C-alpha cells in the first residue's frame, strides 16, 4: 500500500477501484480539479470536495484509502450535522491531498453505521 508523500512532490494515490498507484500533481488538486485513475478513470477522491460513501463503497473509499480519512456520519434530520456541513466542506478543501473527507448518510446506509 502506498503512503502519501509528505514532501512537495506529486502525491501517490492508490486507486480505490483497481489498485493502481497514481501520481497526482499537487497543483492539480489546488486548482480544484478532480484527479482520476490513469488506468480505469475512477475518481481518486483527493479533490477539494468530500466524497460520499455508501454501504457499497465504504470498504474501498475508507478502509482501503491511501490517505487518512475523516468520516462525517450524518443524517438529514440531524440539526448539528447540518450546522457542521459547511465546516466539513471547508476542511476538505483545506486538507485536499492530505486528508480524505468522506460523508456517510446513516439513514441510507444502516449497514455501515450500525454494523
Binding site for Zn ion (CB under 5 A): 15, 17-18, 20, 37, 39-40, 42
Q: Determine the length of the chain.
A: 115
Q: Which of 18, 37, 40, 78 is catalytic?
A: 78
**Is 15 a catalytic site residue?**
no
Pairwise CA distance, residues 104 & 51, whole Å: 9
Of the pair 13, 74, the CB lying nearest Zn ion is at: 13
Q: How far is CA 33 from CA 28, 71, 81, 86, 97, in A?
A: 6, 22, 27, 20, 12
**Is 81 a catalytic site residue?**
yes
Least distance between Zn ion and beta carbon 39 (Å): 5
Least distance between Zn ion and beta carbon 95 (Å): 23
Least distance between Zn ion and beta carbon 22 (Å): 8
| Residues taking part in catalysis | 78, 81
Amino acid at each position: 500500500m502506498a503512503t502519501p508523500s509528505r514532501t512537495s512532490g506529486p502525491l501517490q494515490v492508490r486507486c480505490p477501484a483497481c489498485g493502481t498507484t497514481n501520481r497526482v500533481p499537487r497543483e492539480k488538486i489546488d486548482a480544484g480539479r478532480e484527479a482520476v485513475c490513469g488506468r480505469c478513470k475512477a475518481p481518486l477522491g483527493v479533490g477539494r470536495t468530500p466524497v460520499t460513501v455508501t454501504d457499497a463503497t465504504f470498504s474501498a473509499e475508507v478502509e482501503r484509502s491511501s490517505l487518512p480519512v475523516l468520516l462525517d456520519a450524518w443524517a438529514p434530520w440531524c440539526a448539528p450535522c447540518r450546522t457542521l456541513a459547511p465546516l466539513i466542506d471547508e476542511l476538505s478543501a483545506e486538507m485536499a491531498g492530505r486528508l480524505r473527507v468522506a460523508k456517510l448518510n446513516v439513514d441510507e446506509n444502516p449497514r455501515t453505521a450500525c454494523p
